[in-house]
Amino acid sequence: MELKFFLTFFCFFFYSTLFGLESKIDIFEETKVNILLGEKKGNSLDIGLNFSIEKDWKIYWIYPGDAGSAPILTVLDSKKYDSITPSWPFPEEEYDQTTGLISRIYKNNIIIPYKIFLKKNYENIDELRFKLEYQICKDICIPVTANFILKIPKDNYKNQINIKKIDKYKKTVPKSLLSNSQINFSARKIESNKILLKLSNMSFSDKKEYILKSILIDKEFPELRTKYIAQKKNGFDVLFESEEEIFLTDNSSIVFIKLNDDVFFHKLNISELKNETSQSKYELLIIFITAFFAGFILNFMPCVLPVLGIKINNLLKQTENRNNFYVKLSSFYLSLGILSTFIVFSLVSIFLRSIGISLGWGIQFQSPIFLIFLLSLLLIFTAIAFDLIKISYLQKYFSNNLLNRLVRKNNLFISNYTTGILSTLLATPCTAPMVGSAISYALSQNYLLSIPIFMLMGLGKALPYLLFIIKPNILWYLPKPGIWMKYIKFLIGLLLFVSILWLGKLLVNHYIYSDENYKVQNTYNMWEEFDKDKLLFYIKNNEKVLLDITAEWCINCKINKKFVLEDKGIQKYLKDNNIKLMRADWTFPDKNILDFLKEYNRYGIPFNIFFSESYPDGFIFSEILRKSSFLKILEN
């Protein structure tokens, strides 16, 4: 008896692991459909709606075209789940010249991946019941309804065969344009019923053939079909045509692109065909001005407080000498350190983007190697700035007169140049008003534009020191050196000590936590962990959702939490108004968070966005939150 039970259990386990759990097959006109279970992890399920479609028959995509409707899969046990979200693979587009109808369809075999989140009390259910409604079409469309029961293991479960089947089609699901972000998009209405889409700044290999398919969707437009696609030297021209006149709106359109094996979508605004050269120049001028003032604002962000002590100490030294030449020289070296660091930023960003690596402002603080380097640099040059280390002995080994001049007089060059570098590196965890816009433009547009944008940010950050070069005697308005300087130096030392502890804590986190463990340790009762599928479910159901993207290394994020997000009055308002709270912690590298930020053309944090019926596409708050304006948006 025991042997029989063991063999039965073993056979079931072996079968379910190797061949996978799936529902029974429903058959209609030789078209077969069932549900596959790929993975269960905690309260989440990855399933696939598996269609085997009879020859010459078809089913429809989420944006079906002029006729038809997409399959709708619902869970009948509504109390057992929070959300069910489909991911739609890229379809075929058909155009019937006789009727003028456009259809976007699937033929033959297709698996539509779904993500299901179970309610916490129902993680150990043994089955889920589903209802499927779809249209199967040939000469006419026939509505079909089918019911399924899918067995659910109580423990975590993964079936490699089913996962492989589902992933095959998941790869063809369009994703927001990210690693291809160097591609430039422009769309113009060139006739009453035609739109021309231009893709540029693309690189092609002579040894490879490129096949592009494209679909343009806008709910305010009549259905558009792809009339022709022409490959250019560094991109494509795509012409879309409608049977009716197109009336442009302020809403964003979505273009879906399939380029060989790459599948992505991009939101864009379509404009009338006109000469926009002057407008483009004006927009570029605005970006340059924004970049300059963004750099200037970085001087006053909390992120630069750790190096503020070194700056103050350098200025105090100049008041002792009251020498205009040394004030100008030290200010020049400090400005040079800032500018050279921003130039390095631009060159590194161009190189990494050219090889397809995604970037974000401040993500180097996710690297323990960078933290060790920065800690070492801060310790060494803090000691130099406070004369704890003298480097005049270098003159014994170098006879170069220029070097002698640079290292004499309290190591003028090294202390100021490295202060400029340090102040710039330590400013990178923060995005401030205007900084986000400048960085987003620098990291998403033409490579060559990155250099002037970063240089202008550097000039803006160096502006106070450039003023000292022009008018050094401004410093003479400071009080004369005296006993008060000892107290100032003590305060500076304390500030530096705190900053070194802060960097040390960031470094230690990398060695005592894994990414998942850190998120568990830092989960707040009111806040759900970020999950894009769940967020989309909330938005689809018109729930009010506040998303906060934060990190341990982001000082502005901590200020926002302390004075706004964790304020008792704000928390009470959020709870009383049933606003869902979701938090994404970016302390460690997380591609999903970076991808989400890039969907909103953002490359740094803090990032706070609010979704509601009034803001279905989300309202993005300023990087520095204020209680009054924050509440005003929530109340709207």
Pairing of the two strands 92-96 and 101-106: antiparallel
Share of the chain above pLDDT 70, in %: 79
For residue 14, is pLDDT > 70? no
Region of poorest pLDDT, from 109-123, 398-412, 473-487, 613-627:
398-412
For residue 282, is pLDDT > 80? no
DSSP 58: B
Q: What is the pLDDT of residues 295-313, one digit of tens each?
A: 888 877 666 665 665 666 6
Helix extents (H) in 367-433: 368-385, 401-425
Q: Are residues 251 and 292 both part of a single domain?
A: no
Highest mean pLDDT among 68-77, 169-178, 244-253, 277-286: 68-77
In whole angstroms, what is the distance from residue 598 CA to residue 440 CA?
9
Which pLDDT does position 432 carry in this prediction? 59
Range 278-294 average pLDDT = 75
Which pLDDT does position 558 carry in this prediction? 86
Region of poorest pLDDT, from 47-61, 128-142, 314-328:
314-328
Range 418-446 average pLDDT = 72
Which pLDDT does position 70 carry in this prediction? 93
Q: Give the H or E element holding residue 228.
A: strand 225-231
Range 57-85 average pLDDT = 90
Range 376-404 average pLDDT = 55
Is 491 part of any domain? Answer: no
In whole angstroms, what is the distance from residue 251 CA to residue 539 CA?
18
Q: Are residues 266 and 300 both part of a single domain?
A: no
Which pLDDT does position 313 carry in this prediction? 62
In whole angstroms, what is the distance from residue 518 CA to residue 523 CA?
9
Which pLDDT does position 30 carry in this prediction? 87
130 vs 392, more confident = 130
Q: Are residues 384 and 524 both part of a single domain?
A: no
Range 7-25 average pLDDT = 57
Q: Are residues 540 and 589 both part of a single domain?
A: yes
Which pLDDT does position 145 carry in this prediction? 94
Q: What is the mean pLDDT of the chain?
A: 80
Q: Are residues 261 and 403 both part of a single domain?
A: no
Q: Are residues 266 and 307 both part of a single domain?
A: no
Domain boundary among 255, 272, 289: 272
For residue 414, is pLDDT > 50? yes
Q: Are residues 478 and 531 both part of a single domain?
A: no
Number of alpha carbons in the 13 Å side-chain half-sphere of residue 383: 9
Region of poorest pLDDT, from 209-223, 353-367, 392-406, 527-541:
392-406
- By residue range, what is the domain housing residue 201? 184-272
Q: Are residues 65 and 150 both part of a single domain?
A: yes
If one counts the domains in the chain, the total is 4
pLDDT category at 352 given cuts 50, 70, 90 is confident
Region of poorest pLDDT, from 263-267, 361-365, 491-495, 621-625:
491-495
pLDDT category at 89 given cuts 50, 70, 90 is very high
- CATH number assigned to the domain comprising residue 590: 3.40.30.10
Pairing of the two strands 101-106 and 141-151: unpaired
Is 376 part of any domain? Answer: yes
Which pLDDT does position 9 carry in this prediction? 44
Is 438 part of any domain? Answer: yes
pLDDT category at 446 given cuts 50, 70, 90 is low
For residue 273, is pLDDT > 70? no
Q: Are residues 249 and 362 both part of a single domain?
A: no
Which pLDDT does position 515 carry in this prediction? 53
Which pLDDT does position 202 carry in this prediction? 80
- CATH number assigned to the domain comprising residue 103: 2.60.40.1250
CA angle 622, 624, 628 (to 5 degrees): 80
pLDDT category at 499 given cuts 50, 70, 90 is confident
Q: Are residues 378 and 403 both part of a single domain?
A: yes
Identify whether the C-beta of residue 242 lies closer than 8 Å to the C-beta of residue 193. Answer: yes
Which pLDDT does position 309 carry in this prediction? 58
Pairing of the two strands 580-585 and 545-550: parallel
